[in-house]
Amino acid sequence: MNRNQKIQQIAVTAAQMREIEGRIFAAGMPVAALMEKVAGLISHRIKSLFPISSFSGKVGVLVGPGHNGGDALVVARELHFSGYQVKIYRVFPKLKELTAQHDLYAQSLGICYVNELADLEDCELIIDGLFGFGLEREIKDDLAAKINQLNQWCKTVVSIDLPSGLHTDSGEVLGTAIKANYTLCLGLWKLGLLQDLALEYVGKAELIDFEIPLTDITAILGEMPLIQRVTKEFVQQHLPLPRPAVTHKYKQGHLLLICGSRKYSGGAILTGLGARGSGVGMLSIAVPESLKPLLVSHLPEALIIGCEETENGAIASLPDAVDLGGYDAIACGPGITTEATNILEGILANNKPVILDADGLNILAQLGTISTLKNRQEITVLTPHAGEFKRLFPDIENVQQSRVEAVKKAAELTQAIVLLKGARTAIANATSKVWIVPESTPALARGGSGDVLTGLIGGLLAQGVAANINSLVERVVIAAWWHAQAGILAAKERTELGVDAFTLTQFLSSVLLHHFSSSL
């Protein structure tokens, strides 16, 4: 993995970024030189995104008091030199020393300064250089009103490092925040940009790599950072491809799915189709006896196990012939209803990796999440959305505001792998390491999408167990990325409204062809 690929995987907090920059400056890098370098890269990217020939060339630049404002002033200067019609709006009268020097130079060049935000309304492009990383205080009063006014203009906005007003770590809006179309994140990805709360404000985010030495990064974060963005290169490294030239179905994993009921038969089908898409060697699906013909018609390659039913059509018990120890992994939950409590208890008593979703999680919450899981010897994977997470972990507060901390704490308490679904899905294991899937699509906000993910995770885990892979958390991570990418590809072809869960399963193989065709 080359340097750029490593950099793309790293996400940092404001405190960590300060420490890393502190090492750079302590080693002798002048702050002014770094500002020139960074702003030069920003200017180059802006000119690439918005060539002067493509619009009027009118650019408004918002300048804050700190080094983010200094970056914005250098960008303004470089765009001015390139022929753009630049207007600068300095929001605060007092500036940091270096920023003040760039301000004086910009004035000497005759760049236009304006006294009111309204004077930028004729600009087609706005550069946001108000605040960089580390903002803690809430934006109020006149400045808040100006930001709200800007947001109502619906101009194209490029934010430097983060949209002004976002908390660097949580992505929380501090009073109000600028809604950017593009965010050019500087040096390393800021954690807040990967949080659900920030997505309405970030727009399209890109990393401006100004070549921080890896030695400075590892000195602060260690060789294996505890928070990591999931990239295509990470997925390719852990994807079970290519397969050995000589193999057979049992070497490619045997997964047991326990899912479905008379009321929720579709959950069994969608989970099975997700597992099929994983490439698992053998697939067995336990469903109520009455659903057996339906499952056979949709998944003829699977071994369908008919089970005794309750009066309401839920699984009452597994057949005596089913040996839970004979499978590489077991996934349980979609569509089983909360009647299937004894089924879940039997699964958790087994010494195989278990994936729990939907009603499997609801039953676990009723049993007592932590007390039930703490004695399991094999891994358990929990895949809750925010509502299920609150039922599983009622003592963990502010889940949406602190998703990374919440998922870390849940994994530590249960010694499980916890996947918290969302626009930016977060996965944590018991060692407090967190992976964040940096892309997704609202097209996945459809019933059944989670069932597909459960099957996909189960299939990848079963293959990992069959291959004697020591660490299985990476299989959960790549399943989450794969699932999101399938949604993205499907939305591009079918629109966001056209991606039902069944359609989603048809795009699972397309992800591999789209991203990894050269290695298949």
Same domain for 192 and 292: no
- What is d(CA 110, CA 103) in angstroms, rounded to the nearest whole number? 11
User: Domain ends where: 191, 224, 257?
Assistant: 224
Whether residue 423 is annotated as binding a ligand: the answer is yes
Same domain for 384 and 258: yes
Whether residue 162 is annotated as binding a ligand: the answer is no
Whether residue 60 is annotated as binding a ligand: the answer is no
User: Domain ends where: 173, 198, 224?
Assistant: 224
CATH value at residue 98? 3.40.50.10260
CATH value at residue 302? 3.40.1190.20
**Residue 520: per-residue pLDDT:** 62
- What is d(CA 508, CA 198) in angstroms, rounded to the nearest whole number? 28
Same domain for 242 and 128: no
Whether residue 514 is annotated as binding a ligand: the answer is no
- What is d(CA 52, CA 38) in angstroms, rounded to the nearest whole number? 21
pTM of the full structure: 0.95
Same domain for 68 and 14: yes
Same domain for 254 and 183: no
What is the CB neighbour count within 10 angstroms for residue 445?
A: 12
What is the CB neighbour count within 10 angstroms for residue 19?
A: 15
What is the CB neighbour count within 10 angstroms for residue 22?
A: 12
Same domain for 244 and 199: no
Q: In terms of residue numbers, what domain contains 181?
A: 3-224
User: Domain ends where: 224, 252, 280?
Assistant: 224
- What is d(CA 254, CA 328) in angstroms, rounded to the nearest whole number? 5
Instruction: Give every residue of the chain whose pLDDT is below 70, as ranges.
Output: 519-520
Same domain for 290 and 148: no
3-state SS class at 156:
strand
**Residue 224: per-residue pLDDT:** 82
- What is d(CA 286, CA 298) in angstroms, rounded to the nearest whole number? 14
Same domain for 376 and 245: yes
455 near 273, Cβ under 8 Å? yes
Beta bridge partners of 355: 331, 381
Whether residue 128 is annotated as binding a ligand: the answer is yes
- List, for residues 294-313, the tens digit of each pLDDT value: 999 999 999 999 999 999 99
**Residue 375: per-residue pLDDT:** 84
- What is d(CA 164, CA 166) in angstroms, rounded to the nearest whole number? 6
Whether residue 421 is annotated as binding a ligand: the answer is yes
Whether residue 164 is annotated as binding a ligand: the answer is yes
Whether residue 191 is annotated as binding a ligand: the answer is no
Same domain for 218 and 121: yes
Whether residue 447 is annotated as binding a ligand: the answer is no
Whether residue 451 is annotated as binding a ligand: the answer is yes
Whether residue 387 is annotated as binding a ligand: the answer is no
Same domain for 193 and 306: no
Whether residue 143 is annotated as binding a ligand: the answer is no
**Residue 347: per-residue pLDDT:** 96
Same domain for 138 and 245: no
Whether residue 385 is annotated as binding a ligand: the answer is yes
Cα separations in angstroms, 153 against 50, 114, 125, 158: 19, 17, 11, 14
Taking alpha carbons only, the member of 29, 446, 475, 407 closest to residue 227 is 407
Whether residue 422 is annotated as binding a ligand: the answer is yes
Same domain for 267 and 219: no
Structural domain total, the chain? 2
Whether residue 175 is annotated as binding a ligand: the answer is no
Whether residue 68 is annotated as binding a ligand: the answer is yes
Whether residue 424 is annotated as binding a ligand: the answer is yes
Secondary structure (H, E, C), 410-470: HHHHHCCEEEECCCCCEEECCCCCEEECCCCCHHHCCCCHHHHHHHHHHHHHHHHHHCCCC
